[in-house]
Structure 1
Amino acid sequence: MRKKSESNGLEELEKSKISKFQWFLVIFISLIFAVTVALIVFTVAGVNVVEKAKGMSEKIPFIESDHKNEEKGNPAKENEKVSMKLEKLETEIENKKKEIDKLEGIIDKRDKAILKAGAEKQQLQTEMNQLKDSQNGSKQAFKNIIRTYETMAPKKSAPIITEMNDDDAVEILSSMKAATLAKVLEQMTTADAARLTKKLTEQSP
């Protein structure tokens, strides 16, 4: 009786294991079928399933860290990245150097223009000083001439002045003292004295 009950228990256990295995097969086959249908649908819709899965896996924290670890563990990729950064920096340095050279050229031209302007200014100042000196010399010479005529006797200076052109004569006469001028005009002919007196009157304000 006891052996019969034990055999019945073994049979029920075997049936239970078979039932569970059958359910597992049914679920597994259903999943495989669902995945296959999904792949077909995505493929027909033009979705790259492999790339999509790869992108999604990169967003998963532990998988993403694995990708990074793989990249870090790849010396060739690291060297390539470093080389690209170095090339980029060298290009930027070269561009900056060109800009600096351009600015230095502009500054050099400006400095040359400033030096040229300074030299021209100095030359103009020298010419102006020379002109002033010349004018001062002419004025001094003219003063000396007037002083000479004033010290001369009116009888001698009057004939000389009348022989000059009227502009020079008027310039000399207008620079004489009033008393000396009156004496010189007295020694001239009436016509000369009248003509020069008129011009003196026209010249004075």
Structure 2
Amino acid sequence: MRRFNTLRHIMFFFLLIICIKLGVLGFYFYERGFRWQPLGHNQAIAEDKVKDKQAIVLDDLKLFEELENKRRELAVREEELRKKEEELLILKKDIENKLAKLSQLQTELQGQLQKNVDAANQSQEKRLKHLVGAYSAMKPDKAAGLIEKLNDDVALQILSAMKSKDVGAILSFVDTEKAARLSQRLAREAR
């Protein structure tokens, strides 16, 4: 019996040590954040993780497809913009060419206009000299009769090109009011 008691004590002691070890081990896992889960729980978590990863992959694929579609749209728009830019450059060159031609034409027309104006001025001066010669050759009373019928500007042009002696002789036969007006204008031009 004594042996039985000793054996009992040894078993009790081993049991006590096992309980203490289990308690220390349980406390250790508790401190580390380890929780006891039911059997199969890890498999469910793994399946959930796989499902989550599949969902993430599907979301990533959708996002990738959307990005790829946007990239294609942007490529199409970029190509359209490039074509429009080329068209605009062609139009710009065309406009610049037309502006250059218009500028050249304008220069030519201005030159031609100046030639025409010069020719008209020379012709007018020639006619004026002819008229001055004709009025100077007339008798003063006959020239005065014609001067009275002319407007003041034309009469002034003729008289201002004549010699003073001839002008004085003609104005002596012109109506006094018209003679006064023409004299004032001749005096202003002489200054």
Higher relative contact order (CA closer than 8 Å, sequence separation 6+): 2
State TM-score, norm by structure 1.
0.47
State TM-score, norm by structure 2.
0.49
